[in-house]
A and B are shown apart, each in its own frame.
Chain A
């Protein structure tokens, strides 16, 4: 009996973990791509820094790619620790001339996400900094658009 007690205790402690396992695997997992857009309102956009996060749902960032305009084609700077989390700060700049920078609304990056569960995630974006060619700060409108699942 004394030998069985520790075993029983271990089983009791592990029970919640064992019970949770099927629940996690039963959750539907899907992948989503969210476009990050910046509207520089007519001024040439030379640099930006944005904070993107998911406010609802179980979301993990799995990849970040660059934007559509040649000036921001490369993936932006981001902290690799953001991978597998729901929040990231992305930033990029271009030293190209004003004529080779995007003006108006442009996609600066795309964030790929893994969404677990039925809950529809909600995202938020906050502009931390944006500048034009000479480094002068400019007001911009940042927004997110989830791509339609094919």
Chain B
């Protein structure tokens, strides 16, 4: 197949005389449009665009999200509304607050700054330690009937195995955050 841009020997690369003459007759001086014509065209264009814009506003949006997307589109447009910088700063501030809040919550998990509300905190001192296991063991030894909530292993009875579970929680290194 022959390349379209390749030169063929029988082709005449000279411009036709008719074209050369027509180009020579073109006016040499620059054509200028009078100012009043320019302004008239602009005025007409503005009026036309205004009427088109009013027509669009009269129509209710088909979907709320479509309207939202249009607002976002306006916002992102290079020549967007004047409140764009304010909105940008507000969004940045909100992001900053959100990140700060997340970091604080990661660094201070609820268990470390709120008193323990665990069912295992039998002596209600705000933490689960060996004294809670001791408390349950004493109750069991005295024949008391501890709360069924203390059936921590779910075997249907509250016994020494549940005491051992509380004790295991008390000495767990993971609860204290580091090994």
Contact = CB atoms under 8 A, between A and B. Distances in A.
Given A49-B131, A91-B171, A129-B130, 5 more contacts: A87-B178, A93-B131, A95-B138, A135-B123, A135-B134
Given A77-B167, A82-B179, A46 B172 contact: no
Contacts of B133: 77, 91, 93
Interface string B106-142: 0000000000000000010000011101110110010
A131 B131 contact: yes
29 contacts: A47-B130, A47-B131, A47-B134, A49-B130, A49-B170, A77-B130, A77-B167, A77-B168, A77-B170, A78-B171, A79-B168, A79-B171, A79-B173, A81-B173, A81-B174, A85-B173, A85-B179, A87-B178, A87-B179, A91-B133, A93-B134, A93-B137, A93-B167, A95-B138, A129-B129, A131-B131, A131-B134, A135-B123, A135-B131
A128 B132 CA distance: 13
Interface string B159-172: 00000100110111
B125 to A, nearest CB: 8
Nearest to A78: B171
A148 to B, nearest CB: 29
Contacts, number: 70
Contacts of B176: 89
A88 B170 CA distance: 12
B69 to A, nearest CB: 51
Contacts of A93: 130-131, 133-134, 137, 167
Contacts of B174: 79, 81
A137 interface: yes
A89 B174 CA distance: 11
A29 B129 CA distance: 35
Interface of A: 46-49, 77-79, 81-82, 85, 87-93, 95, 128-129, 131, 135, 137
Interface of B: 123, 129-131, 133-135, 137-138, 141, 164, 167-168, 170-174, 176, 178-179
B168 A89 contact: no
Which A-B residue pairs are the 9 nearest by beta carbons?
Answer: A91-B130, A93-B134, A49-B130, A77-B167, A89-B171, A47-B134, A129-B129, A79-B173, A77-B171
B137 A95 contact: yes
Given A47-B130, A81-B179, A135-B123, A91 B170 contact: yes
Nearest to B122: A135
A49 B138 contact: no
B29 to A, nearest CB: 70
B54 to A, nearest CB: 69
A49 B137 contact: no
Most A CB within 10 A of own CB, among B131, B178, B179: B131
